[in-house]
A = this chain, B = another copy of it.
């Protein structure tokens, strides 16, 4: 892609110049232990919201609100535990400009140095040899959130007007299920968010470590349970083995019928719903920086079902998959207990993609389980049901939002980004798209090896600084699309 470059060098230079301030900002953010999963740290999460309010105020944001989401619903230890607020803020209200909604989260995953961190997780530590910043939240998601603030600061110091109006939506419960946020988005869609033209979320990662990506799709997930019931209580296999139908026998047969060892779903009707691969989409896979070796490195074993990058990634991103997660109710301890379990349940899930119809999928799955069970001629009873679902999301990677981000990436990194999807789901993406009716872009800052939820979470300095440049350039290109 070649494009008419905007004159953004002064912005990029200013970002380089402000690097010490930006490191300081991230250091102060990381120091706040805003772990949403730890009830005892809820005051720290609140403190992090206040930190953002102070920063936003200093940067000239207006209409700053801490949206109260009420009390956290069970299960909680403290029945009066307040949910962290959603911080809303806006910069600019120029009706001649487009408005971009920026989403990020200010809570982080738990972290204890005893878990194996090389440094204090809540002290941002600069490894000056590798030029890497270590700390909890450095990449997920305090780095990107500070990135947006850094962009604003650079503009102010340059005396530049922002090319778009900005609306911030920063939540403090992302690592704990985004409780309350979907409702808030729905409530504010025609109010605080009424002028939004596009949403940009910087809360995922490059596919690998070498090449920037833009993410245009997420698979959905439908989670199912099969329960097989027989006797009123567990039986002793010495006494009853051979005389009675055993629920575990039926369950493994039904579960074994769902998918083959090559990962091919055996339930008829699902493959037919999958959107055909277009040439245009297929071409997106050609340049992607990924290999089967990368997959083998990630799994620590040679268990790839495909011998080439493109097939592997398509099965990760644009085809459905079915995983069996486990069986409950049986004997699953050390030793040799001779039990016939009375009631066993199996759990499995299907990753969904366009154009799988959710309710039709559920019907196909439940019908198939019932049919397979009927074939067994069992004396027991089976019940299969959906227990949880979240829909897939896919965007047009050639729309204005993505095109702007692609141009920004080329300017900063001097390379075309890979267009990727993610195999897992980020439900809030769909909430923004559906409630606001506007395009959503996933524009990651960090790399695939940042260890977002692991020990020694990190953000490469180049990703932090170039990430700030990319976020800033994106706003300028989007303003011109």
Give the interface of A toward B (CB within 8 A). Answer: 219, 221, 223, 230-233, 235-246, 248-250, 252-253, 255-256, 259-263, 295, 298-306, 312, 315-316, 319-333, 336-341, 344, 346-347, 349, 351, 376-380, 387-388, 422-425
Contacts and interface: CB of A to CB of B under 8 A. Distances in A.
Contacts of A339: 325-326
Given A246-B323, A252-B255, A325-B330, 15 more contacts: A230-B303, A231-B299, A231-B301, A233-B300, A237-B323, A238-B423, A241-B263, A241-B423, A243-B306, A243-B315, A252-B256, A252-B324, A252-B346, A253-B256, A324-B330
A178 to B, nearest CB: 16
B347 A336 contact: yes
9 closest cross-chain pairs (CB), A and B: A238-B424, A232-B300, A326-B330, A242-B321, A242-B315, A241-B321, A326-B331, A256-B256, A261-B376
Nearest to A231: B299
Contact of A262 (B238, B302, B323, B377): B377
Given A231-B301, A302-B379, A379-B304, A333 B323 contact: no
Contacts of A324: 246, 248-249, 252, 330
Contacts of A299: 230-232, 235, 240, 244
Contact of A326 (B249, B321, B332): B332
A333 B323 CA distance: 16
A255 B330 CA distance: 13
A311 B456 CA distance: 63
A194 to B, nearest CB: 33
A375 to B, nearest CB: 9
A351 B230 contact: no
B238 A351 contact: yes
**Quick one: which of A248, A333, A341, A344 has the most chain B CB within 10 A?**
A248
Given A241-B322, A328-B333, A351-B238, A249 B230 contact: no
Contacts of A233: 300
Contact of A248 (B219, B325, B351): B325
Nearest to A333: B328
